[in-house]
Amino acid sequence: MNKVNPLLRHAALLAGAAFMVLPFAVMLSTSLKSQADIFAGGFSFLPGEWAAASNYVTVFTKLPMLDFLINGVLVTTAIFCIQLIVAVPCAYALAKFRFAGRKALFNAVLWCLLIPPQAVAIPVFMELYSIGQLNSYTALILPWTISVLGIFLLRQFFMTIPDDIVDAARIDGMGELSILLRVVMPMAMPALTAFGILSFIAHWNDFFWPLICLQDVRYFTPPLGIFYFKTEDAGISYGPLMAAACVITVPLLAVFWAARNKFIQGVSMQAGIK
């Protein structure tokens, strides 16, 4: 493609980029406008009448937005921590041990990769119902504590760690768990980061499952919170709604910008390309 005029190329790329950024710009600008300004006939990017303060204050006073954010952080963190505790040892066993049943276990992991989360919603709903844990943090966290994608990614990465290093650690006197914690985990940081990023994106954004298992606003995560806000409000106070969207989206985007290369690497790793 290097024979294409560079100016033309940049023009095309900039046009595409503008389209990508457009909704974010609309979100930001509208979150700063007063209700009157929004409805004062026709859209404009620059606010005519500023109401940033009142919009953002509304988000945190009329709505338990802070609780939503705390719930989101709490749930995603808990999910990822437990996923790690479950997936790392299993991936390590799959990658570095020879044992009867290893092949069957790995096949099971591959088969489980096929199961879309919506498909297990009904039985999992019933399981949680039967132990009386619907509408709770348990309901939000427990079904996601197993990540077959995590097991798969980590197993692939652990395979690239030379057996010699594990053997050297054994001769140096480390026990199997020390080896996992002191040698394998530090070496697998890129894969662990990728796993963390994929897990975080998936569960911070998840809407389907919280929508099904929650009734109590107390446990709402940000996506459900903003959906609730819109339906309660009949969806016309756009200023505060866009402010709420900003509050949910911007911190995530800020983290993404700060660590964009790690994020993009992590997502690419999913395809097993890098």
Partner 1 sequence: MASIHMNDISKSFGEVNVLEGINLEIRDGEFLSLLGASGCGKSTLLRIISGLETQSGGSLRIGGRDVTGISPKNRSVSMVFQSYALYPHLTVFQNMAVPLTMRLLSRPQRLPLVGRFIGGTARIKTEIKARVEALAESLDIKHLLDRKPAQLSGGQRQRVALGRAMVREPEVFLMDEPLSNLDTKMRAHMRTELAELHRKLGTTFVYVTHDQEEAMTMSDRVAVMMQGRIMQVDTPRNIYSRPAHLRVAEFIGAPGINILPRTVTSPGVMDVCGVKLSAPSFVRDRGSIGIRPSRLTVTPKADDAWPARVVNVEDLGSSFLVHAVLADDTRTISRLDSRAAIPEVGAAIHLSCRSDSVIHFDADGWNPALHEARQGSRRLETAVRPTREERHALAHAL
Partner 2 sequence: MRWHTLYRLALPYGLSAPAVALMLLFLIGPVLAVTALSFTDWQLGETALSFVGLRNYGSLFDDALFLRSIGNTALYILMTVPTTLFLGMFFASMILRSGKMRSLYQTVYFMPFMGTAVAMLMVWDFVLNPTVGLWGLVAGWLGVEPVNLLRTEYLALPILALISIWQNLGLSIVLFLAGLSGIPDEMYEAGELDGADDPVSRFMLVTWPLVSHVTYFVLILLAVHSFQVFESVAVLTQGGPNDATEVLTYTMYKEGFDFFRTNIAAAITVIFLVGVGGLTLVKAMWLEKKVHYQ
Of 171-200, binders to partner 2 (CB under 8 A) are 176
From the list 57, 70, 168, 253, which residue makes contact with partner 2 (rule: CB under 8 A)? 253
From the list 81, 183, 201, 250, which residue makes contact with partner 1 (rule: CB under 8 A)? 183
Residue type, 230: K
Within 113-259, residue ranges assigned H as helices are 121-130, 137-141, 148-160, 163-171, 176-178, 185-187, 189-205, 208-213, 222-232, 238-258
Report how many helices (DSSP H) and strands (DSSP E) the chain contains, helices first: 16, 0
Shortest Å, Cβ 67 to partner 2: 16
Q: Does position 151 bind partner 2 by CB under 8 A?
A: yes
Shortest Å, Cβ 167 to partner 1: 5
- Output the CA angle 177-183-187, nearest 5 degrees: 130
Q: Does position 20 bind partner 2 by CB under 8 A?
A: yes
Shortest Å, Cβ 162 to partner 1: 6
From the list 103, 170, 260, 274, which residue makes contact with partner 1 (rule: CB under 8 A)? 170
Q: What binding mask, one character per residue, do residues 33-52 give for partner 2 by CB under 8 A, x or -?
A: -----xx--xxx--------
Q: How many residues lie near partner 2 (CB under 8 A)?
A: 103
- The Cα 44–Cα 126 span in angstroms is 49
Shortest Å, Cβ 218 to partner 2: 19
Residue type, 112: C
116 binds, among partner 1, partner 2, none (CB under 5 to 8 A by kind): partner 2
The backbone torsions φ and ψ at residue 42, rounded to the nearest 5 degrees and listed phi first, read 85, 150
Nearer to partner 1, 167 or 232 (CB): 167
CA distances (Å), origin 125, targets 1, 64, 144, 212: 52, 26, 13, 8
Return the closest-CA partner of residue 207 out of 227, 181, 183, 235: 227
Residues in contact with partner 1 by the rule CB under 8 A? 162, 164-165, 167-174, 178, 183, 186-187
